[in-house]
Structures are given as C-alpha cells and as structure tokens.
Amino acid sequence: MAEVPAKTNLPRKSAFSCEACRKRKVKCNGASPSCSRCAARGEVCVYSLAPTLSYTKQLESRVAQLEDALTKLRSQQSLEPVGLKGASRASSASIGESSASPGRRTRIKEEEDDDQNLTRDFEGLKVEHDGRISFHGPTSLFQLPSGVVTEAASTSHLAMHLEGRKERLINNAWRERAYEQLATMPEPFQYLLDSHWCWIQPLFNFVYRPTFTRDMKINGPYFSEALLNAILSHSVRWCKAEPKIGPILDSFEGGAQFSHRAVAGLYDSLKAGCFDIPTIQTLLLLSAQECGRGNRTQAWLYSGMAFRMLDDLGISIDSCKYSDSAHLSDEDIEIRNRLFWSCYFWDKLICLYFGRAPTMQQSRVSPPRTILDDTAEVEIWTPHGVEFPDGTHYPPTQAHSTSCFMKMCGLAEILNQILIHIYDPIRQVTEAEFYECIEEQAKNLAEWWDDLPHFLKLQATDLPPYSPPSHIVTLNCLYHTINILLHRPVLCSKTNKSYDKSHLVQCMTSATAILSLYDLYRRTFGDVHVVLSLAYSVYTAASIYLLEIQALKYAAQGTLDKLKFCIYALERVKGSNPVITTALSLIYQELQKLQIDLHIVLPPLSQPQQPEPSQTISQPQSQPQSRPHTSHSSSIPATLSNTPSRLSPAHQPQHSNQPMASSLLHPAGLTSAAAAPSLPTSTYHQPVADFELSQSNVPQMANTHMLGGMPNAVMTLDNPGSYEITPEVFEAFSYAEPMTTNMTPAVDYGWNRQ
C-alpha cells in the first residue's frame, strides 16, 4: 500500500477544481467565475492552479472589450479644449434620465436610433475660419457631401457625465455670485441691473448671469457693451418711475442714451459681421423693448434677426450630441441650451402679441429642455425697487426661477400648437384639424397644470396673503390666458358640433382667475413693474367679458365691474408698456359698438397734457345705457368714485355691491409717491402693512362670475361645473365677434365657421 502513492502523478486533473472543492474532495465542474457548488454555498470560488483554455479565452475576450471601450473613451476626451481640466461633454438631457422609467428608456432608445439615421446627412457643428461655431447641411456651399457617418454620442453615454457637469456649473455659479457681491458699480447702472435680475431674468432667461457678470470685469466673450446697454435700456421702462433712480437718469437723457448705445453697438457688430451670443441676447432685449413701446416693425425685425443668428451659430442644434469639431465647455453648452429655449419662448410671445405664425420649431436635434445650473432655484427673491412702509417687509421667499422657466417653456410648446392650428392667419385648417387641436391641447394643458409643482401653482380660490414672486404670478396668468385662447374660438364657431358648455366655463373661470391673480399682484407690488405678458393676460380676460355682453345683449353689473378693473389696470401700465394703448383702443371701440359708457375716473396725473382727475375715459357719441333684461333692473353701470388714492381707509366710500370697482382706486394702507413725468399713469403704489391683505379693508377680488347676472349661472373657480346654462345661451356666443388676440386691427381667423 505504501508503494501506491496518492494521485500526485495527475496534477493536471486539479486544474479543473477550485480550492473549496479540492478541500472537500468533491467533483468540481470548473465553471467560472464560480463553480456550481461554490455558487450554491455562496462561497468565494478560487482556482489556484492554471485555468482551462476556455477560461483563458473568456478572459482574453473580456480584456479586448474593455480595451475597446477605453479607446473610444479616450477619443471622446481628446476633443476637450486645452486647459479645461476634467471638463466633460455630457448630455443636457433631463436630470432624472438616469432613473427613467421603462417607457422613458424605450423612448431614449428610439431617439438614439433616429440620431444614427440623422447623422448620415448631418455632420454636426463646425468651427469656421474666423473661429465661430456654425453648421451647414449637405446642400450648402460650405461643405461637400460626405459618405462618412459621423457617430453621434449616445444618450446613455452622455448621461454618464451629467452629474459632473451639473456640479461644476453650480460651483462656478456660486463662486461668480460671491465675486459679484464684492464688486461695486456706480448708479444707476447697478440699480438697473438689479432690476433686470429681479423682474425680467427669471421670466425670460435671456442672459446667463454668472458668465455675464464675470466677463463684464474681464471683457470676456459673454459680455458686450451693446448687451449691457440693452439691459439698462430695458430696465429704464420701469425704473424711471421710481423716486430713487428717476432723478439720476436725467443725466442720461432719461435713460435714452442706453438705448442709443445699444443700437449703435449692435449695428457696428452687424456691419463688421461679428456675431456672437451677446449679439443675440442684445437683439432679444431690443425686440422686447420695442414690443412694449408698440414699435411692431422694429420688434419683429430684431427678433427675426436673433432667431436667424441662432441658426447661424448652430445654437438650434444640440451642441452636446452633435458637436463634431466644435470644442464646447460645460459653460458653453449650458448657455447655448438656455438661449435656445429663451428664443423659443419669446418667439411664441411675440407671435401671440402680433397675431403671426411662430418661427422657431423644436425638432429631434434641438437642445434638450433642461437647465443644469439650478442655483437660481434656491435663491431668495426680493421685489427690487419696492419700498415698503416702516415696520413692514417682504418675507423671505424662494425664487424657484429655474423650475418656473422650465414650466414656462413647456407652456410655450402648447401655445405653439395653438398658434399654428387655430390662430395662424395664413394657414387654412380644416374643421377636423381645428377640433383635434382643441381636444389634444386641452388634454396637454390639463396635464401641464396637474404636473405644476405646488410652489408654482396659484389657486385663485385659495390665494396667499401676499403675492409670490412676479414670474410665478405671470406663469399662472399665462396659463389661464392660453386656456382662454384655446377654448374661446369654440364659443364663436358656427358648427354642427354637439353642445358643450365646458368651453364657456373654461373661458369665464380663467378670466376671473386672471383678475384675482393680478389684483393680488398689484396690491403687493403696485403696478410699476408689470411686464407686457401680465398686461396681455388682463387684456385677454377683458375680451371674454366683452364677448359675454355682446352675446347676451345685456351688461350685468358684475361683468361691468370686471371690465372696469381691466381698463383701469391697463390704463395704469400703459406708461411702461405703450403698446397697451392700442389694446385699450380696441376695448373702447367694442364698448362703443355695444353702446356702453363706463365712466372710469383715472387717478391724478402729473403731466399737464394728460386728462385732469375730473375727466373720464369714455367713448364718444355713446349713450350711458346697457341692454335691458327682464330679471335685472340695475343695468346702468355706476361711475367710479373720484376719491383721491391717498385717502385713508376710514375715509373711503364703501361699495359692498361693487367690490372690484372700489378696490381699484382705494387700496387701503397703500401710500403714493410722485411718479416720474414720463409715466403719468403709474402712481407708485406700495404694499399694505404686514401683507395682511385679507384684513386691510381692501375688498378682495371676487372669485366667482355670474354669467349675464343670472343666479343660476354662477361660475366658481373651485367648482366650475356648478352652473346651469341653457343651450340657447351657449349658442348666443356663436353669433358674437371676438376681439383679436393681438393688439392690432381685427383679422378674420376663421372662427365664424359656417
């Protein structure tokens, strides 16, 4: 037995057994990376001797795969610009994309397939001979058609570096904001800039603040003198009414110098052919400024040049996925994405104001609708330029600027479809397409509202005691405005469609909600900083009440009170937004046709050429009468009181039956400051003490509307279905002629369909 050795002469046999199986002296199947017995026991499987040939081949294959992946990664990183340490070019896809749902992942895969097909004709962004980034299609004079397929970066690959990009952008933004606080700038420049960051930037996002303030000190690529002057000139519209800054602007011709310098700098750039991102931003601000002034041609041309330049610089292309030879940093991509969506939003607004078809359209190669630098979301917002009475202050309020802008862009996508399929004055749509658009966009609008975060949503039946930041109020007002624009054409459409009262209820409740929101806004901030989009919402609400009077042939007192509120509000903001004068003229013309004379008394004005306080705004050659109605005897509108706005609450006449009319001229607890001569209709109102508006004797805006004054047709915002409207009443609206959506002479939009 001793001469029979243990089976040491068969060493190759043990190569198929792991250490654990050898110790237990059991058969091992030699599987890798773990044999079946070790896997069943949950033990670590270790092969101490040479592996099998098949296992070696598996390892070699795995190594080859990893080496190939590293090679591709290095080729991607080699395109990074020199000096940018650790910068990564990740996708601007949604922040939550990494944890997307299965449906979302399926859509991402489909988009990747579309991208691969697209790249056969699209080679991506190129760096021109002058250093500018641009792109050209295969038919252009600037590149030959290429059979080489440019591999677009996949969404899954780009999402890998998303968090890294986000962290770098946020850190840079906070650093620049800290430097900005340490910098000093003389007045009125600092005051006007702060006004822009407060009232304009959160809403439109034209300028990326961290890079602008940084490059302003070093004359970097994201700053220009023309852009600075455009910002200053745009802010002058509201700030020149403020006592603190108005006198300082006198040395700058009342702020006119800023506008002249901005235009001169812009024309110099155009003449030299030097286009860059600050040039686009300058054009956008000048377009917004001329739009508010009522200079439609200039506003339209400025915006058109901005959109064309956007294409020329390749900003309308996702610069992260289709960069090709363009070397873009995290900062570059963030700015380009923001600018694209700023232009997209402004395109929809200016087309809405002027009644024209939108220019910019989103496609699968457009920049994603996302913002990685969300530092503006958590900043504290304070109403710049609003001076509160002693002992009062505006409570610390989170800005939520980033989420507000993102939701505004989503609302703009819905508005885009409405403008194309319902309001395009050139494009002829069929009745089927008309109603399909209304049904689809009504669903999209309802989903948008349901998804709106609670900190951005304002319920007109449950408003806070003071107004949230202005951009949040504007967001909610624009939602109600778009809701009216979606449903209003159905009211005036003579079709064989079945009777549906919901369109009328949607219009009435949204119009009433707009007035409630605006009432809260003006009682908190006054009416000096009202932007045009907010004033347009009031104009749209007025169109609904005029439509009601025209359809029912009767002017109920509640409807007249709401009309008075709209007219008074628009009269007071036309100083900073002169284009509103045209909108007011349309309202007055409609009232004259209806033979209704609203004796609206304006507050004291500072310029002698303006009407005196005793003068009223009325329609010439019209009679102060309203249509008779069998169930109402008080159909003649009451004249608003001529009590000065400085009266204390104790001296103010009470109009219990006219809550809105009395709240127009007598906001209790408010103080007045002298308005600048150029803004006669913008008396400087201040918020009430402690913002307890519900306890300040200021009559709250009614959140209900009684259609035609009929008790059985009371529409409440919290329960819009609690109404009784006969088909005959609904049919009456089909014979009414609605006011135009734009502030220009009426155009036939095909609403009165036979």
Cβ-count burial 338-352 (b if 16+ within 10 Å, e if not): bbbbbbbbbbbbbbb
Determine, yes or no, domain membership for 511: yes
Instruction: State both tokens at 218.
Output: 């070093």
- Regarding whether 631 and 701 lie in a shared domain, the answer is yes
Determine, yes or no, domain membership for 125: no
The pTM of the whole model exceeds 0.75: no
Instruction: State both tokens at 104.
Output: 């979302």
Instruction: State both tokens at 16.
Output: 């198929």
For residue 343, what are the domain limits?
161-318+330-380
- Regarding whether 371 and 407 lie in a shared domain, the answer is no
Determine, yes or no, domain membership for 132: no
Measured CA to CA, the distance from residue 493 to residue 601 in angstroms comes to 36
- Regarding whether 425 and 294 lie in a shared domain, the answer is no
Determine, yes or no, domain membership for 456: yes
> Domains in the chain: how many in total?
3
- Regarding whether 464 and 372 lie in a shared domain, the answer is no
pLDDT band at residue 99 using 50, 70 and 90 as cut-offs: very low
pLDDT band at residue 156 using 50, 70 and 90 as cut-offs: low
Q: Computed over its alpha carbons, how large is the radius of gyration of the chain?
A: 32
Query: Which 3 state secondary structure label does DSSP give 672?
Result: strand
Could you tell me which residue, 677 or 700, shows the higher pLDDT? 700
Q: What is the mean pLDDT of residues 45-69?
A: 72
Determine, yes or no, domain membership for 483: yes
Cα–Cα nearest to 350, from 303, 283, 417, 306: 303
- Regarding whether 213 and 289 lie in a shared domain, the answer is yes
Measured CA to CA, the distance from residue 267 to residue 354 in angstroms comes to 25
- Regarding whether 558 and 503 lie in a shared domain, the answer is yes
Measured CA to CA, the distance from residue 425 to residue 419 in angstroms comes to 9
- Regarding whether 344 and 449 lie in a shared domain, the answer is no
Per the DSSP assignment, residues forming a β-bridge with 617 are 600
Q: Are 391 and 687 in contact (CB under 8 A)?
A: no
pLDDT recorded at residue 151 = 47
Q: Is the predicted pLDDT of residue 194 greater than 70, yes or no?
A: yes
- Regarding whether 468 and 578 lie in a shared domain, the answer is yes
Measured CA to CA, the distance from residue 270 to residue 265 in angstroms comes to 9
Q: Is the predicted pLDDT of residue 351 greater than 90, yes or no?
A: yes
3-state secondary structure 301-361: HHHHHHHHHHHHCCCCCCCCCCCCCCCCCHHHHHHHHHHHHHHHHHHHHHHHHHCCCCCCC
Determine, yes or no, domain membership for 545: yes
Q: Is the predicted pLDDT of residue 587 greater than 60, yes or no?
A: yes
Measured CA to CA, the distance from residue 194 to residue 232 in angstroms comes to 10
Residue-wise pLDDT for 529-559, tens only, equals 999 999 999 999 999 999 989 888 888 888 8
Q: What is the mean pLDDT of residues 664-671?
A: 30
Determine, yes or no, domain membership for 206: yes
- Regarding whether 176 and 262 lie in a shared domain, the answer is yes
- Regarding whether 423 and 476 lie in a shared domain, the answer is yes
Looking at residue 327, its amino acid is H
Per the DSSP assignment, residues forming a β-bridge with 133 are 127
pLDDT recorded at residue 531 = 95
Q: Is the predicted pLDDT of residue 335 greater than 50, yes or no?
A: yes
pLDDT recorded at residue 241 = 78
pLDDT recorded at residue 448 = 97
Which residue, of 78, 95, 117, is where some domain finishes?
78
Query: Which 3 state secondary structure label does DSSP give 380?
Result: strand
- Regarding whether 408 and 376 lie in a shared domain, the answer is no
Measured CA to CA, the distance from residue 207 to residue 334 in angstroms comes to 11
Burial of 717 (0-12, 13-18, 19+ CB in 10 A): buried
Determine, yes or no, domain membership for 6: no
**The domain spanning residue 45 has which CATH number?**
4.10.240.10
Give me the residue label for tokens 């988009």. 111
- Regarding whether 179 and 60 lie in a shared domain, the answer is no
Cα–Cα nearest to 405, from 227, 207, 223: 207
Residue-wise pLDDT for 737-753, tens only, equals 555 556 554 433 333 33
Looking at residue 693, its amino acid is L
